[in-house]
Chains A and B, each alone.
Chain A
Amino acid sequence: MAKNLLVTRNLSKSFGGVKAADNINLEIVSGELHALIGPNGAGKTTLISLITGILRCDSGEIRFDDNRINDVSAPSRSLMGLARSFQVTSILKDFTCQENVALAIQAHDGHSFRFWKRVSSETDIQDKALDVLRSVGLHTHSETIAGNLAYGDQRHLEIAIALATKPKLLVLDEPLAGMGRSDSAKILEFLKSLKCKYTIMLIEHDMDAVFALADRISVMVYGRLIKSDTPQNVRNDEFVQMAYLGHDD
């Protein structure tokens, strides 16, 4: 039987009077691509911020890889194998692409209280960083300052940084946001290539992309998870259509 990599139980988070996450029970099966959809403001980003440790939940429980991680800090969750990309590109803009990736590898290679040796002369880290850049097709830009990259390439780089941490679960927050058609197609292709290698949790508004990629889809509306099922069943669910998919037509 397939194993649940991530489980949330009655997970709740409120901002003032707004329940951004309301008793969320989510299960992400190891090896699957699990899409999270829902209208704007449904609490999708809040949910993944709870999962990745950027926000702390008010109540409930998060289990990752059989460990309760409620009280685990974001950096420690990363070391456990949780990686995430952001809706608004979050990279180190004044570092080169290679440095961006190398820093992620460094984080997972013991502590960084090493004060003397140049990182640039640590061939182990640099070789690995180049490998990761190659895998996303950015190796020709290894010396480019990340902030100077084209927008689509910055999105690629952000995923590369996440991959460099060798995640068990890759959480991607709208990787196609703000992309032109050709860039979207490129990222989509790339996501397909990742699909079998990583367990992925994907937030995306592009329904074509979601239904093409996902093994399972969860639907969030007003902080609630109203459905979590196969793409086929989600598509045919009346309630989901009314709450969300219907607006597309």
Chain B
Amino acid sequence: MFDRGVLFTRRGVAGILVIGTCMLVPIIATIIDEPYYMNLFARLMIWAIAAISLNLILGYGGLISFGHALYLGIGAYAVGICSYYDINSIFIQVPIALGVATIISFVFGGISLRTRGVYFIMITMALTQMIYYLSISIEEYGSDDGLIIYVRSEFGTNLINLDNPFHRYYLIFIVMVGCLYLTYRLIHSRFGYVIRGAKSNELRMEVIGHSTFRYRLVCFMIAGLMCTLAGVLSANVEKFVSPDMMHWTRSGELIFMVVLGGMASILGPLTGAMVFWLISEILSRFTEHWHIIFGPFLILVVLLSPRGIDGLLSRRGSGSG
């Protein structure tokens, strides 16, 4: 379980604040009668789940995957296409989504992990763009207009009904917290040590007997599956899927969230996703060309605090907790 001491550090307090906010948003939104915020935070948490999953390979594994949004698309399209054929049970949709994601992440990971550095970035991006163009070309499923989902995923019970915004919100919240806890367990396990060790010094790891490739591949797949769940949730929030979800700029945004929050920190992607959204929301109210301000801002963050928001919160060197 968690070390108690962790809770009383600045990082711990920030973590409790961020997760606490997510937990309380529906209540506050109801009190002040602004359901908009509930939807905003639901979306935000979905982005956070995607960023948390990317953090596994990017932050802890040191591999800059520029195609991670692919798995958002796989999750969302699994729901969209299933519902197109009137298959609405989540117990069928999710296994299909995870099954497809497993195969694709295995193949794509197997190809891309044989390269390093810039080549890895390029090949992950290229493979994702391939699926992006595939999704555009299939007219049956709406091509670039996307696919409207008329019925949300069904649990087959009234206890969880995704048409109810509260149920929807807290399902996303639980999945997100689950992903955070899974990350926490993973990085401290034998598996996590191999992944982090390979980031630190791959040659050293190989020479002491770790075949890093297969561990990285499994890590790549776990990250892909986690992100697929975010896609499934996204389809249920938006009731709409489109190829845009998989565009490489989306993958780039995910990277920014991770870097902004602090690579290789458990809560970094969540705070990163929040700050990313808040700033883009605020800036876009002032000007249509908000990217002009946002871009330099991100560069400044990277220059001033290479370890992102997490780096500002903690002074410990290793950034493992």
* Chain A residues engaging chain B, CB cutoff 8 angstroms: 52, 54, 73-76, 78-79, 83-84, 86, 90-95, 99, 102-104, 106-108, 112-120, 122, 145, 148, 161-162, 164-165
Choose among A52, A86, A115, A164 the residue with the greatest number of B CB atoms under 10 Å from its CB: A115
Q: Which residues does chain A contribute within 8 Å of B188, judged by CB atoms?
A: 118-120
* Chain B residues engaging chain A, CB cutoff 8 angstroms: 185-186, 188-194, 196-197, 200-201, 203-212, 215, 218, 317-318
Q: Which residues does chain A contribute within 8 Å of B185, judged by CB atoms?
A: 115-116
Assembled-state Cα–Cα distance A249/B192 (Å): 53
Q: Which residues does chain A contribute within 8 Å of B196, judged by CB atoms?
A: 95
Assembled-state Cα–Cα distance A119/B191 (Å): 9
Whether the Cβ atoms of A75 and B191 lie closer than 8 Å is no
Whether the Cβ atoms of A84 and B318 lie closer than 8 Å is no
Whether the Cβ atoms of B207 and A92 lie closer than 8 Å is no
Choose among A92, A113, A116, A148 the residue with the greatest number of B CB atoms under 10 Å from its CB: A92
Whether the Cβ atoms of B193 and A119 lie closer than 8 Å is yes
Distance (Å) between the CB of A100 and the closest chain B CB? Answer: 9
Assembled-state Cα–Cα distance A74/B210 (Å): 9
Whether the Cβ atoms of B203 and A90 lie closer than 8 Å is yes
Complex partner residue of A83 from B191, B194, B203, B208, CB under 8 angstroms: B208
Q: A54-B203, A90-B201 are in contact. Are A104 and B218 (CB under 8 A)?
A: no
Distance (Å) between the CB of A5 and the closest chain B CB? Answer: 18
Q: A92-B201, A119-B189 are in contact. Are A78 and B208 (CB under 8 A)?
A: yes
Whether the Cβ atoms of A112 and B191 lie closer than 8 Å is yes
Whether the Cβ atoms of B197 and A103 lie closer than 8 Å is yes
Q: Which residues does chain B contribute within 8 Å of A115, judged by CB atoms?
A: 185-186, 189, 191-192
Whether the Cβ atoms of A103 and B205 lie closer than 8 Å is yes
Whether the Cβ atoms of B193 and A75 lie closer than 8 Å is no
Q: A76-B211, A90-B203, A93-B201 are in contact. Are A145 and B190 (CB under 8 A)?
A: no
Assembled-state Cα–Cα distance A117/B196 (Å): 16
Complex partner residue of A114 from B191, B205, B211, B318, CB under 8 angstroms: B191
Assembled-state Cα–Cα distance A162/B191 (Å): 21
Q: A90-B203, A112-B193 are in contact. Are A103 and B208 (CB under 8 A)?
A: yes
Q: Which residues does chain B contribute within 8 Å of A84, judged by CB atoms?
A: 207
Distance (Å) between the CB of A104 and the closest chain B CB? Answer: 4
Q: Which residues does chain B contribute within 8 Å of A76, judged by CB atoms?
A: 209, 211
Q: Which residues does chain B contribute within 8 Å of A108, judged by CB atoms?
A: 209
The 6 closest A-B pairs by CB, nearest first: A107-B209, A78-B209, A104-B208, A112-B190, A114-B190, A75-B211
Q: Which residues does chain A contribute within 8 Å of B192, judged by CB atoms?
A: 115, 119
Assembled-state Cα–Cα distance A119/B189 (Å): 5
Q: Which residues does chain B contribute within 8 Å of A54, judged by CB atoms?
A: 203, 206-207
